[in-house]
Structure 1
Amino acid sequence: MNRPVRTGTDPDEARARILEVAEQHFRRIGYHKTPVADIASELGMSPANVYRFFPSRDAINESICGRVLNEVAEIALAIACTNAPAVEKLDQLLTALHQHNKMTLVKEKHMHDLIAAATQENWSIIKAHTERTVTIFEAIIRAGIEAGEFEVEDAAEAARAVRSAFMQFFHPVLIEHCVQHSEDIEADLRDQIRFILKALRKRGSLEHHRQDQDSQPIHG
């Protein structure tokens, strides 16, 4: 059923409705196969009217991409705000980022393709998301330094290094390669997280954490 949008009274509401319908189409058939005319038709408006609220089709694509990336950011922030030790939070965060991106690849392939395109084409929303993620890494690492869990001189530099070291497990193109070619991606994931934590942690406290983590099941 077409749901006309009252374009003259509430621009924010109109933009939200356009994005809602666009996202539904993107998830169902993919962003490449979704013309603006179909979005407009479902909303009972003309394509020209859609462009009153978005300067281009690319702006719609980037807005939808931002909505998906916000889901990831909310997961990251929720973990970062817990009262767990920093080493556990970083472990949980890296695991959650990987699992979320892997599930997007497997269960929401059309949205994965959108994120992959945005990453390969260097959309500004990807840069902002990357900076936000690294900032969360940095906050956890800085708290770990203050608590005596981590032993690094520069939290910001360490956060960037963590991102680089973990790239293959959450970059949309690289994770696709991992899923297709790794014999045991979960084991590879655990190995890389242990490597990262070993690089950050104070000597002498790592072995206890490793034993704790090895005793916990991996949830795929």
Structure 2
Amino acid sequence: MRQTTRTRSDPDETRARILEVAEDYFRRVGYQKTSVADIATELGMSPANIYRFFPSKGAINECICGRVVQEVAELAFSIARTQGPAAEKLSKLLMTIHVHNKTTLIKEKRTHEMVAAAMQENWAIIKAHIERVTTIFEGIIREGIAAGEFHVDDPAEAARCVKRAFVSFLHPMMIEHCIQHGEDTEEGLREQIRFILKALGKQD
């Protein structure tokens, strides 16, 4: 008789279901108020069973945060892959991330709070996300150099400078601060984009 080979589909499905329930709780009540017991109860399992798939509540937090920031990375990648001048792509990418983060603050307050805390506490998933986005900046800058749009000697350094120049427009806590003080964040961002494009050597 032919023996059926067991697969990992059931554990994978259970893990995915745990994250689905956890994310739903995070969006409704916040990640800090969500306990492993809450997640387990919703799934009809024991907390000990949750720990078979995730070593800690922090591991669940990181996974959910990773899913959230992956949305930002996918937006950035989709813009970077489009055809067109590098300056336009960089401008659109920065504006898109800013608007996405601001929309999350307004419409998904609990998600905003989690990402803000993750950035403040320097979670590993956030460090990887920032590096990924900075690499996308670098790729666009390299395209601009090759096309004669930008005139800088070190695209990697330029990308890091772009990252630092736009922290106040991309960091969730800083966006929240600006909104609370009635600042027009998008107009400020457009001004900063014009400045950074000149710094990259773009001619009007």
Which TM-score band applies after superposition, normalised by the shorter structure?
A: over 0.9
User: What RMSD, in angstroms, separates the aligned Cα atoms of the two structures?
Assistant: 1.2
Shift of 1:9: 5.9
Q: What stretches of structure 1 move > 3 A for 4+ residues in a row?
A: none
Corresponding residue SS for 1:52:
helix
2:156 equivalent in structure 1: 156
The 5-angstrom pairing of residues 131-142 of structure 1 reads 131-142=131-142
Deviations 1:16-44 (A, max 9, x none): 11001100010011111111111111111
The 5-angstrom pairing of residues 174-213 of structure 1 reads 174-202=174-202, 205-206=203-204
1:24 equivalent in structure 2: 24
2:75 equivalent in structure 1: 75
For structure 1, which segment, 34-43 or 86-95, has the greater mean C-alpha deviation from structure 2 after superposition? Answer: 34-43
In the comparison of the two structures, how many residue pairs are matched? 197
Whole-Å separation in 2 of the counterparts to 1:147 and 1:182: 39
Whole-Å separation in 2 of the counterparts to 1:68 and 1:39: 19
TM-score norm. by structure 2 comes to 0.93
Shift of 1:183: 3.1
The 5-angstrom pairing of residues 107-118 of structure 1 reads 107-118=107-118
Shift of 1:130: 0.5
Unaligned runs of 5+ in 1: 1-7, 207-220
Sequence identity (%): 68
Contact 2:175 2:185 in 1 (8 A): no
2:40 equivalent in structure 1: 40
Deviations 1:70-104 (A, max 9, x none): 00000000000001211100000000010011111
Aligned CA distance change for structure 1 residues 116 and 183 (closer, same or farther; 3 Å): closer
| One-letter code aligned to 2:190 | R
Corresponding residue SS for 2:52:
coil
Deviations 1:34-62 (A, max 9, x none): 11111111111111100000000000001
Aligned CA distance change for structure 1 residues 182 and 201 (closer, same or farther; 3 Å): farther
Contact 2:76 2:93 in 1 (8 A): yes
Contact 2:95 2:186 in 1 (8 A): no
Whole-Å separation in 2 of the counterparts to 1:28 and 1:143: 42
Whole-Å separation in 2 of the counterparts to 1:182 and 1:133: 28
Shift of 1:185: 1.9
Unaligned runs of 5+ in 2: 1-7
Whole-Å separation in 2 of the counterparts to 1:22 and 1:36: 9
Whole-Å separation in 1 of the counterparts to 2:184 and 2:31: 31
Shift of 1:186: 1.9
2:4 equivalent in structure 1: none
1:124 equivalent in structure 2: 124
| One-letter code aligned to 1:19 | L
2:64 equivalent in structure 1: 64
Contact 2:101 2:172 in 1 (8 A): yes
Whole-Å separation in 2 of the counterparts to 1:154 and 1:164: 16
1:102 equivalent in structure 2: 102
Whole-Å separation in 2 of the counterparts to 1:175 and 1:9: 41
- Which structure's relative contact order is higher, taking Cα pairs within 8 Å and 6+ residues apart? 2
Corresponding residue SS for 1:10:
helix
TM-score norm. by structure 1 comes to 0.87
